[in-house]
A and B are shown apart, each in its own frame.
Chain A
């Protein structure tokens, strides 16, 4: 069994915290994992992505081949579309709907929504608003991870919950709880769609 995920966003949004939780869960199950990250100049407000591969068998390439990603998980809607050539025909996009506009020529939201609308498997949600409702605006990432959990096959939600506990435990129980609540809100949103 194998699952290939592209995590996307804008430098500084924090896609790597999502990767860290998934990675911790995968490691706890003794699964193979490769995770290619972006460090350096691109982190300064540019587009960033991480190729994350999880498998029960050894993984060769650090990069996902085009047309092979099972999931694109994005904290920003245009960034979700940037990696479309990597998505498998049966693959899912799970994306935040809130645009991050730090460029003068950001496209019309209607064009982005239309393109997402043409794809067969999309979960689009306003993770910022959901996180704010939960009184934890800084846990938007975990809302997105929750929505992802609904379509992620290789790791079940309990393993991700344990991952959240492990990753955030050194910041205190309150932070763990906030992140877990955000995660649950993401799961609920995705389940209501199904």
Chain B
């Protein structure tokens, strides 16, 4: 038995996975999920057991690598932020059809209130969609315990498990009591080889099995140690509290909750327990972090005898992260006396670091475009350089999802936008930009595609970037003409040279790639200290 440890929710998942006999973590960095993989990379058990922990190019290759490990009978963990689920959905849906051989746990970290994200999607929907069980811990100890349980469940039921965390769980520390360390599995091939070839004839059979299995999964959720129905002395209200919402509920009742409560951390939603709750109270409040998944399901379309309250009727704030204060309001309790917000305080938005190469690249780009090409549009992407949108740079016009800059620029160019410029980072390029570059080459698009290469995955804290040292070779290999792959060094003293290159490539009719390369100053500082 190891000592008590102070762990982030992310780290509790990581340690739970290592102790469950993990053979590999497959992940692409993304806030708030990054620390899971980083913890495993730094842990002695990973070195001792040769646990695979290299970053992958993107979430799809991560999910597939892990599925291959599960096929071979070993235990694999996949980690990503919520929007990474969109990237790996094809493989994730496929994994429901193949099932798992070695335990397979997919961890999606959602970001309600969009602290560091572009949307608020709730990954629990994807479990329902794929007919895959979802585990949603309510605290750090449960994050540890449930990760271990998820590997057991996955292996015993032959199904991947989706572990859902939210920012507050991922990035909050608490004391965790770890358990014993279990050995990794030996390699062993699947018992049901037909499942792994999803030809229609096999997939139809498997689909019916999966539908039948879901009845079992739901009954398992009703009996799960992580779900419970507790009675209360006051039946004027019943409460469904999912995941971390349970903590906010209990925070408001230090002496214990007076109402019956259904605490839910394991899905499919335990409908039998919900019916028991409804037999205790005709009025139910649903507290769930994220979108109103359970509330909508309970509410249905037609009038019911049970009143349902939650985000949809405004009892709970419709969007954003839950807080103890929001839950307090939903419970009809009086707010604690508090000072009003200070009128002196002004917002302090994040910004590109002083001395950052993205800044110098944008400055040179602005010098050219604002002066001589007022019709130019700049399609950008996901990374630190998205902050080029902010004052005083105002350097970009779009940011949608990973890789979209290179492809949107082509659609816009075809529609008459000129100059059509795209900017993404080196890690985003290898994540989802390379295929778009091949499209551009094949279509002979008239675009200037810029890779602001800082030799790292910067936004998430400086993880290895998949294409470092090979960006020019990749572009050339994809068919960009050597003469139009231009490399510049973004520094104020180089502005004249940089601007000349940008101008020349705008004037060239065809695919140009400009690689603006200087190391991230955060990783540079770290390297200097070593």
Contacts and interface: CB of A to CB of B under 8 A. Distances in A.
A100 to B, nearest CB: 9
B6 A46 contact: no
A85 B336 CA distance: 10
Interface string A21-48: 0011001000011111111111111110
Given A39-B35, A67-B336, A34 B172 contact: yes
Given A36-B172, A39-B461, A78-B345, 4 more contacts: A34-B172, A62-B168, A67-B337, A78-B348
B173 A85 contact: no
A10 B459 CA distance: 17
A43 B6 contact: no
Contacts of A81: 342, 344-345
B460 interface: yes
Kindly state the interface size class of chain A when it binds its partner: 35 or more
Interface string B329-355: 000000111111110111111111100
A65 interface: yes
B127 interface: no
Given A37-B8, A40-B31, A41-B31, A27 B175 contact: yes
A37 B171 contact: yes
Contact of A65 (B116, B251, B344, B347): B251
Given A41-B459, A78-B344, A85-B341, A33 B251 contact: no
Contact of B171 (A38, A65, A67, A105): A38
B93 interface: no
A89 B460 CA distance: 38
B352 A40 contact: no
Nearest to A115: B344
Nearest to A30: B4
A112 B344 CA distance: 7
A68 interface: yes
Interface residues of B, number: 49
Contacts of A78: 344-346, 348
Contacts of A37: 8, 171-173
A41 B115 contact: yes
Contact of A44 (B172, B345, B350): B350
Contacts of A65: 251, 323-325, 328, 336
Given A23-B173, A40-B31, A63 B168 contact: yes
Given A33-B174, A81-B344, A82-B342, A60 B349 contact: no
A138 interface: no
B250 interface: yes
B336 A44 contact: no
Interface string A67-111: 110000000001101101111110000000000001111110001
Nearest to A77: B344
Contacts of A42: 115-116, 350
A38 to B, nearest CB: 7
Interface in B282-339: 323-325, 328, 335-339
A137 interface: no
